[in-house]
Amino acid sequence: MHIHDILTRKLTAAFAPASLTVVDESHLHAGHAGHRPGGESHFRVTIVSDAFGGRSRVERHRMVNAALAEELAGGIHALAIQARTPEEAAR
Number of domains in the chain: 1
What's the CATH number where 15 sits?
A: 3.30.300.90
CA distance 45 to 22: 5
The answer to whether residue 61 scores a pLDDT higher than 80 is: yes
Residue 56: give the domain boundaries.
3-90
To the nearest whole number, what is the mean pLDDT of the chain? 91
Assess contact for 63 and 55: CB atoms under 8 A. yes
DSSP letters spanning 25-51: -GGGGTTSTT--TT--SEEEEEEE-GG
> Per-residue pLDDT for 35 more than 60?
no
Confidence at 44, pLDDT banded by 50, 70, 90: very high
Is the pLDDT confidence value at 65 over 70? yes
Quote the CA–CA distance of 22 and 5 in Å, as a whole number. 9
pTM: 0.88
